[in-house]
Amino acid sequence: MGVENFYYKDMFDIVLPDLEKRSDKKVLCLGYPDMLVTEDLLIDLYGKEFVDTIPEDPLPDAVREWHKSQLPKIFDPLWLLRHHGFDPVIFDGVVHRGFEEVVNLNEPLDSKYYEQFDLVIDTGTLEHCFNVGTAFKNVCQSIKKDGYFMTAAPITKLNHGYWNFGTIVYSDGFGWNGFEITQEKYLRKGEILPKEVINRKRIPLLSIAFIIAKRTEIKEWAWPIQGKYL
């Protein structure tokens, strides 16, 4: 998965300040979070002196090849997460770098992971899980009270994964289960789309939803039924 400029900036502006004072923070990444963030953005956020200290990702060429990126430097995402006080955990279906925990999100999550993470980073995993409802539930159950779920998923990307997401997935999936949406954006090729463009009759191709939700209440999981049909 790739963490792009818009994603990292909102994490920096919205999530990190709220979690800053927590001790023993843990972050769950659904797949290794390749840093597709420009040096200019990081300089705007941290200053050049700090950015010069950030190490490069151990496998920069592989990241560039996978994402077809021309970025001159691929920064180390786990170093940055640790700088902000997080202990990173990586879930994946296979071992790529040697430190992933192999977890099949299609199946119910082991209860040892319940309420363990202050932040979950997902930039494109859920749509690749065939049992997507269970995968969504698993992630929500893994988050501590007042923790955050940051997710980006396709709404009109044909044959990208198994699923595209309707916008009501988030309002109901989160709303029924103790989460509040704190950020909601729709993007196409890195550009933010006006909300009036997103409607049930016309959504531009290659659009994605980017959502930040905060778990404000621990409650028993409820499978939503679309309100129109209740």
SS (H, E, C) 148-203: EEEEEEECCCCCCCCCCCCCHHHHHHHHCCCEEEEEEEEEECCEECCHHHCECCEC
Reply yes or no on whether the pLDDT at 184 is more than 80.
yes
- Is 111 exposed, middle or buried (CB count within 10 Å of its CB: 0-12, 13-18, 19+)? exposed
**Helix ranges, 20-164 (H):** 39-46, 48-51, 60-67, 77-83, 132-141
pLDDT the model gives residue 199: 73
pLDDT the model gives residue 91: 98
What are the structural domains, with CATH classification, of the chain? 2-229 (3.40.50)
What is the average per-residue pLDDT within 21-34? 96
**Looking at 125-129, 187-191, 213-217, which range is the least confident one?**
187-191
Reply yes or no on whether the pLDDT at 95 is more than 80.
yes
Reply yes or no on whether the pLDDT at 117 is more than 70.
yes
Angstrom distance (rounded) from CA 110 to CA 113: 6
Reply yes or no on whether the pLDDT at 230 is more than 80.
no
What is the average per-residue pLDDT within 203-228? 92
- Check residues 228 and 148 and name the one with the higher pLDDT: 148
pLDDT the model gives residue 228: 67
Residue 56: DSSP 8-state: B
For residue 210, count other CB atoms closer than 10 A to its CB: 19
pLDDT the model gives residue 200: 67
pLDDT the model gives residue 195: 75
What is the average per-residue pLDDT within 122-129? 95
Angstrom distance (rounded) from CA 112 to CA 79: 26
pLDDT the model gives residue 203: 83
C-alpha distances (whole Å) from 46 to each of 41, 43, 53, 72, 226 are: 9, 5, 11, 19, 43
The C-alpha angle with vertex 39 and arms to 37 and 42, in degrees rounded to 5, equals 80
pLDDT in tens, 54-85: 999 999 999 999 999 999 999 999 999 999 99
Give CA torsion, residues 86, 135, 15, 43, to 10 deg.
70
pLDDT in tens, 166-178: 888 999 999 999 9
The model's confidence at residue 229, banded by pLDDT at 50, 70 and 90, is low
Contact 186, 155 (CB under 8 A): yes
The model's confidence at residue 158, banded by pLDDT at 50, 70 and 90, is confident
Amino acid code (one letter) for 137: K
**Secondary structure of residue 83 in the 3-state scheme:** helix
**Secondary structure of residue 55 in the 3-state scheme:** coil
pLDDT the model gives residue 46: 98
The mean pLDDT value of the chain amounts to 94
Reply yes or no on whether the pLDDT at 194 is more than 90.
no
